[in-house]
Amino acid sequence: MAYDGKLLARARSALEARRADNQAEHESRVRTVYARVPEIRQLDQQMRRQMTELVRVTIAGGADMPEKLERLRRANLDAQARRAELLVEHGWPIDYLDEIVSCPRCRDTGVYEGQPCECLVRLYNRELTRELSTLLRGDESFARFDLALYSDAPNESGTVPREVMRRVKAACEKYAENFPNVSSNLLFQGGTGLGKTYLSACIARVVANKGYSVCYDSAAAALETFERQRFSRDADTAEAAAARAERMLSCDLMLLDDLGTEMVTSLSTSALYTLLNTRLVNGRRTVISTNLTDEELRRRYPQQICSRLEGEFLHLPFVGKDIRLLKAQ
């Protein structure tokens, strides 16, 4: 994975702040314990002297080295046992004075086995999501998705909107819960105001909270980014667009809203194909929402795009009446 230097620096700063908080908490605990139980301070000083003596004895060598090492070992174990006894006696757990780390794998260094640790990657993805997503600004959650806003009476086609939306919600919850171990992408289809963007946000929030990077944008804005990358005469604008386009291509989850509202040109079609195909080839997941039916999608986009929408996406129908209008009433 290629990392953006600016975002990686932010992630490292967040990790450093976490490490500083842990160190401050550890120092506070030490001061409290030493003040209440001075014997523990004495035991810690004793054990540090024992470690210094162990190094000296090992370097000096000599015929009596094994005996001296054994004597130091027994004395150290006795000191540890007494220290643990005092901690428990005064109501603290045995490990209360141990170093505090948020990540036991890398011990808050951000590096594990020569690679960025998962904890640093999660912080990086949080920064990437913050940079890319304008969607996560409210309190969207599956628990707040109100099925009562959908009618429980059959519509003209015999479909019960509430039951359809109950299944759609369940599918979205399962998708978010299992991410990234999901086998398909999602295509939300239905009219305006039926909850497509809201459920997209619900998925995004769960996925982002897991530490994965999430990008959200309207189809019009996303495809315009690719065009600015290629044709802007301003170097800074082109560079910023290129960076954003790369993030959309590489983020763990891309949410593309309102597909079909963008102006269809050869450039926008090429950009859409690049976005879809690159993400599919690299195994990156995408959630698309659109007001268009399958037939309308076929009329609007070339076969190479439609074949991917039909073959690589699970289609979820959104039915009912415009929720915004219902709430206004």
Q: What is the pLDDT of residues 130-173, one digit of tens each?
A: 765 665 666 788 999 999 999 998 888 888 999 999 999 999 99
Give the residue, 17 or 122, on which the prediction is more confident: 17
Q: Is the pLDDT of residue 218 over 80?
A: yes
How confident is the model at residue 137, as a pLDDT?
62
pLDDT band at 202 (very low <50, low <70, confident <90, very high): very high
Q: What does the DSSP assignment read for 268-281?
A: HHHHHHHHHHHHHH
* Calpha distance 328→317 (Å, rounded): 24
* Calpha distance 248→220 (Å, rounded): 14
How confident is the model at residue 138, as a pLDDT?
67
Task: Please report, rounded to a whole number, the percentage of residues in the chain having pLDDT higher than 70.
Answer: 95
How confident is the model at residue 208, as a pLDDT?
84
Contact 285, 254 (CB under 8 A): yes
Residue 184's nearest CA partner among 275, 312, 316 is 312
* pLDDT tens-digit readout, 86-113: 999 999 999 999 999 999 999 999 999 9
* Residue 229 in tokens: 């990358």
Q: Per-residue pLDDT averaged across 243-261, rounded?
A: 90
Contact 291, 258 (CB under 8 A): yes
Contact 266, 259 (CB under 8 A): no
> Strands 115-116 and 111-112: what pairing?
antiparallel
CA distances from 209 to 48, 49, 174, 185, 237 (A): 42, 46, 15, 19, 31
How confident is the model at residue 249, as a pLDDT?
92
How confident is the model at residue 63, as a pLDDT?
86
pTM reported for the whole predicted model = 0.69
How confident is the model at residue 131, as a pLDDT?
64
In 126-229, beta strands by DSSP E: 185-189, 214-218
Average pLDDT, the chain: 90
Q: Is the pLDDT of residue 327 over 60?
A: yes
Q: Per-residue pLDDT averaged across 6-29, rounded?
A: 92
